[in-house]
Structure 1
Amino acid sequence: MSYPDWIRPPVGGYRAEDLDRLPDAPPHTELIAGSLVFTAPRTRWEIRTTGLVHGALEAAPAGWEVWRSMTVVLDARNRPEPDLMVVDARADWGPHHTYCRADSVLLVVEVVSEESQIRDRRTKPPRYAAAGIRHFWRVENVDGRPVVYAYELDPATDRYTPTGIFHDRLKVDHPFPVEVEPA
Structure 2
Amino acid sequence: MTALPDWMRPPRAEGWFAEDLDHLPEAPRHTELIDGALVFMMSPQRSWHGRLITALTTTLMAQAPTGTEVEREMTIRLDARNRPEPDLLLTNLPYDPDRTWYAPEHVMLVVEVVSPESAHRDRTVKLCKYAEAGIPHYWCIEDENGAPTVHVYELDEPTGVYAPAGIFRGSLHRLVPFEVSLDLDKLTPPRNR
Fold match by TM threshold 0.5: yes
Q: 2:76 aligns with which of 72, 77, 88?
A: 72
Q: 2:89 aligns with which of 85, 88, 93?
A: 85
2:27 match: 25
Letter in 1 for 2:70: V
Q: 1:131 Cα deviation (Å)? A: 0.9
Q: Does 1:157 align with 2:156?
A: no
Find the residue that maps to 1:113 and give its secondary structure. coil
Please say if residues 56 and 179 of structure 1, whose CA atoms lie closer than 8 Å, have aligned partners that are also in contact.
no
Q: Which whole-Å CA distance do the structure 2 matches of 1:87 and 1:65 have between them?
A: 5
Q: Does 1:8 align with 2:9?
A: yes
Q: Which whole-Å CA distance do the structure 1 matches of 2:108 and 2:100 have between them?
A: 18
Q: 1:3 Cα deviation (Å)? A: 2.5
Q: Which whole-Å CA distance do the structure 1 matches of 2:22 and 2:44 have between them?
A: 21
Letter in 2 for 1:68: R
Could you list the structure 1 runs, at least 4 aligned residues long, displaced by more than 4 angstroms after superposition: none
Q: 1:34 Cα deviation (Å)? A: 0.3
Q: Which whole-Å CA distance do the structure 1 matches of 2:181 and 2:150 have between them?
A: 12
Find the residue that maps to 2:38 and give its secondary structure. strand
Q: Any stretches of 5+ residues in structure 1 without a counterpart?
A: none
Letter in 1 for 2:4: Y
Q: Which whole-Å CA distance do the structure 1 matches of 2:81 and 2:27 have between them?
A: 17
| CA RMSD in angstroms, aligned pairs only | 1.4
Q: Any stretches of 5+ residues in structure 2 without a counterpart?
A: 186-193
Q: Deviations over 1:132-174 (max 9, x none)?
A: 1000000000111100011100001100001111011011111
Q: 1:21 Cα deviation (Å)? A: 1.1
1:120 match: 122
Q: Does 1:44 align with 2:43?
A: no
Please say if residues 56 and 178 of structure 1, whose CA atoms lie closer than 8 Å, have aligned partners that are also in contact.
no
Q: 1:2 Cα deviation (Å)? A: 3.9
Q: TM-score, normalised by structure 2?
A: 0.89
Q: Which whole-Å CA distance do the structure 2 matches of 1:129 and 1:17 have between them?
A: 21
Please say if residues 137 and 155 of structure 2, whose CA atoms lie closer than 8 Å, have aligned partners that are also in contact.
yes
Q: How many residues align?
A: 181
Give me the identity figure in percent: 49
Please say if residues 70 and 100 of structure 1, whose CA atoms lie closer than 8 Å, have aligned partners that are also in contact.
yes
